[in-house]
Structure 1
Amino acid sequence: MPFDWTLPDPRWPDFTERTLDSVPRYRGTLLDVHEDRVQLPDGREATREYIRHQGAAAIVPLLDEKTVLLEYQYRYPQRRHYLEIPAGKLDPEEDPLKAAQRELQEETGYRAKRWKKLMRLDLCIAYSTEQITYFLAEDLVFEEIRRDEEEFLETLAVPLEEAWRWVETGRICDAKTVAGLLWLKTLSPT
């Protein structure tokens, strides 16, 4: 049976912080900000600020065994353009695979005939609850692009070897994309 990492490991001390109260500070369409008062393992109290996020799905779409489909888009918080794998926020109670299928179609115009769940990552553990579930999408068929009104991006077919070089040189520096591409390079059973 796999180890349940949500519980403290019995080999190490239990550093669990207990919530005493929680106050929502901001509610938005993408995320909520909370401030909690917690009891530390030694009994003292502290404040924890964090972001609650619905979660997301990310897709590593392969056009063929040697070519990945990437997106080029501007990200306002960093004020720069990024090369990324397709991804998107989950709707409330949405299955991550359904979100991945929706996002791939909306952003790139492709539908995949084969899907494989790869992994789930907790991206910003110090200040966010965001989790991204990754999927490999294969046997892509182009249908039509249905982007959101405020979504501006270009898709590009990139040889995997080149995408991996771009990770190594820092041209691709988006965490979700780096994780997805390196999973494909180092952990893929194929």
Structure 2
Amino acid sequence: MKKRGDWTVISKEKMYDNPWIAVYHNIVRDPSENPGIYGHVHFKNRAIAILPVDENLNTCMVGQFRFPLNSYSWEIPEGGASLGTDPLEGAKRELREETGLKAGIFKPFLEMDLSNSVTDESSVSYIALELSEGRPEADSTENLQRRKIPLFKAFQWVEERKIRDALSVASLIKLQLIMYKNNIREYPALLDYFKHFNPRKDNDNPSVD
């Protein structure tokens, strides 16, 4: 038996495994000592999202069909980085592959735990500034559309539910909040803010009384 917080794991069995995820079946005792089961999914990559913003306050949206949902989705550029590797390098790679863009400034500005009742997947979102254009290098599993739109239109798409992807929604709302709180309406002010942005300080979890 092994304690996992206030849960007791009596046994754990791997039911499925591939290069991206592993699915486990746990026999447990819950915090009230009742017997039960708990299934969870282990992710072998950290989710990465990149929010590029150019000097005219435009961003780049990526459209693609999402197999699990059987529907089309507009998102900011996203991908994954293997656990134990530098997520920044993954962010640079995904931005280049999906949009052709390179950035002089990458700053992490949002970290999240995704679907934390059944998975251990975590994510980090980067803002990408000082952009330069190149040629996209999407892999064979991706049939992507790319659309440059004003950043404020992307905020509107979130409100209109045209963007439903969780990483995209959270990243756009976080940036909108930063811009609102700091009265940022033009690119130079946005660039200056993130040049002095301290991810460690700003992303610390506050204590909860």
The TM-score normalised by the length of structure 2 is 0.79
Contact 1:63 1:157 in 2 (8 A): no
State how 1:140-151 maps to structure 2 within 5 Å: 140-151=131-142
Aligned-partner SS, 1:187: helix
Asked if 1:168 is matched to 2:147, the reply is no
Q: Aligned partners of 1:65 and 1:180: how far apart in 2?
A: 19
Aligned-partner SS, 2:109: strand
Deviations along 1:36-75, whole A, 9 cap, x unmatched? Answer: 1222222222211111112211111112352111101110
Asked if 1:41 is matched to 2:31, the reply is yes
The TM-score normalised by the length of structure 1 is 0.87
Residue correspondences, number: 176
The equivalent position to 1:129 in structure 2, one of 105, 117, 120, is: 120
Higher helix share: 2
Which runs of no fewer than 5 residues in structure 1 stay unpaired?
1-14
Q: What does residue 8 of structure 2 align with?
A: 18
Contact 1:63 1:69 in 2 (8 A): no
Q: What does residue 139 of structure 1 align with?
A: 130
Quote how far apart the aligned CAs of 1:143 are: 2.3
Contact 1:21 1:38 in 2 (8 A): yes
Q: Aligned partners of 1:92 and 1:186: how far apart in 2?
A: 29
Aligned-partner SS, 1:70: strand
Aligned-partner SS, 1:43: coil
Structure 1 consecutive aligned stretches of length 4 or more whose deviation exceeds 6 Å: none
Give me the CA root mean square deviation. 1.5
Contact 2:6 2:30 in 1 (8 A): yes
Range with greater deviation from structure 2 (39-48 or 164-173) = 39-48
State how 1:1-190 maps to structure 2 within 5 Å: 16-54=6-44, 55-64=46-55, 66-188=57-179, 189=182, 190=190
Contact 2:53 2:151 in 1 (8 A): no
